[in-house]
Amino acid sequence: MRALRLRQWKSEPELMEVPEPTPGTGEVVVRIGAAGACHSDLHLMDEFEPGSVPWNPPFTLGHENAGWVHAVGDGVTGLTIGQPVAVYGPWGCGTCARCRVGVDPYCENPAGAPVPGGGGGLGLDGGMAEYELVPDARHIVPLPDGLDPVEAAPLTDAGLTPYHAIRRSWPKLPPGSTAVVIGVGGLGHVGVQILKATTAARVIAVDTRAEALRLAQECGADQTVTSGPTAAEEIRAATGGRGADVVLDFVGADATLALGVAVARTVGDLTIVGIGGGTLPVSFFSVPYEVSIATTYWGSRPELIEVLELGAQGLIRPKTTTFALDDALDAYRQMREGTLEGRAVIVP
């Protein structure tokens, strides 16, 4: 079968022939219907080097995957051949307290995981291929009626990651509250949809690009603000001077982190989702009183089930551009150039 593989750090992936996988005990092979291309893949290609993470190439890219059950190994029950499914991307040990409740991204026994801190497309072979081997059937999530694999694939990360970040702040988003979304890219525009679908908060979207702000409006943002010297003042004015109850930073650069602090309301949440490499000085007087600052990574398996249901109901729908496997490198090129609107989905 054909697969898009990263053969070494700081290199372009290559489309090549590899053997079709066969499932062992407890394993599942998924025929891939779609695989999302994520901005984090660019970090793998352009920035990572030996020692950056506890795993190394070669491996097949693609950690946002959905398709149909193709084959199952001994001991697998509850799945049928041809059943449409999504793949839960982070693969932990399966036995620690976190993994046992489906929170594999925070696995506390990385030595027992298939690959420490990774999963399919992140150290092990992912879904930018005709088939993907999933090492444990618990990572397979059946798709609800009304949701096909092309729609489901980006929800496994671009939907799940902002959903987890927003869900943890639901108590701070009642009627009359304000949420600020900084960065309306592949994750941020879905974050706007999730906020509108699951909370009563007023949503303010911030970005440097006019086209991103237009996308935010299409996704339901109540107000858009161009990132720049007056952005904090505009947001403060829009909130009557109080600031935002929840700030979600999908960029994570120095400038966006500083903006997040400048517009956060006392007792609010500032959640850093983007991995832009910025830093945030924290001291007693450097942030508003009792603001909680957190980083989040991916989401839980139960949350993925909820995200897929929201997708099936049409409440969240990432803006996507589909590419054939032969054209996957063009998708990454557009991501690098900043010309891709929304999310790229590779359809083998």
Q: Which residue type occupies 178? A: T
CB-based contacts of 171, cutoff 8 Å, min separation 6: none
Taking the complete model, does pTM exceed 0.85, yes or no? yes
In 165-317, the DSSP E strands lie at: 178-182, 202-207, 223-226, 244-249, 264-272, 292-295
CA distances to 178, 219, 304 from 185, rounded to whole Å, are 20, 12, 20
Question: For 160-295, which CATH superfamily applies?
Answer: NAD(P)-binding Rossmann-like Domain (3.40.50.720)
pLDDT at 338: 87
pLDDT tens sequence across 244-301: 999 999 999 999 999 999 999 999 999 999 999 999 999 999 999 999 999 999 999 9
pLDDT tens sequence across 222-232: 999 999 999 99
User: Where does 2-157+299-347 sit in CATH, by number?
Assistant: 3.90.180.10
* Structure-token match 């990774």, residue found: 118
The values of phi and psi at residue 99, to 5°, are -65, -35
| Angle (deg, nearest 10), helices 188-198 and 210-218 | 30
pLDDT tens sequence across 106-158: 999 999 999 998 999 999 999 999 999 999 999 999 999 999 999 999 999 99
The values of phi and psi at residue 205, to 5°, are -105, 140
Q: Is the predicted pLDDT of residue 342 greater than 90, yes or no?
A: no
Q: Is the predicted pLDDT of residue 64 greater than 90, yes or no?
A: yes
- Give span(s): CATH 3.90.180.10, the chain: 2-157+299-347
